[in-house]
Amino acid sequence: MVDKDLCEINGLRAVFPESDVLLCWYHVMQAVVRWISKTESGVSGFSNGDIKKDIISFFSKLKSCATRHDFETMAKLFQNRFEEFPALCTYFRDHWLGIGDMWSDFGRCYNHAGSDTNNLVER
């Protein structure tokens, strides 16, 4: 389980090709919150506080999907809900949609004692 460092992910896949790489849920949300706080997201600023909460809520729902089908259905709902924010939808498609198995529950088919983060080993 790692943050979304592509060099680290590629290195792990090269050395351990039979292993799946999972993304730390804390780092996923950290990246999302940082991005929606940027002007280029189209949802930054105090006036969009409710929208940002809704985005975070949707990411939590996406994370909780037990099957790929549920994830894809929720992803469509996400894109429909936020279609008036094209930069957000592009960000979601480019950075999260294609790697859902790395951060959503449907890809976490392992006994990891219910831990979705690597924060404990980073300390």
Tens of pLDDT, residue by residue, the chain (123 residues): 888 989 999 999 999 999 889 999 999 999 999 999 999 999 999 999 999 999 999 999 999 999 999 999 999 999 999 999 999 999 999 999 999 999 999 998 876 666 677 666 665
pLDDT in tens, 86-97: 999 999 999 999
Residue 82: name the closest of 113, 58, 117, 107 by CA.
58
Q: Cβ of 49: how many Cβ atoms within 10 Å?
A: 10
Quick one: pLDDT at residue 116?
Answer: 74
Report the alpha-carbon distance of residue 40 to residue 37 in Å, rounded. 9
Q: Delimit the domains of the chain by residue range.
A: 6-122
61-65: long-range pairs with CB below 8 Å, 24+: 62/96, 62/100, 62/104, 63/25, 63/28, 63/103, 63/104, 63/105, 63/116, 64/104, 64/105, 65/100, 65/104, 65/105, 65/106
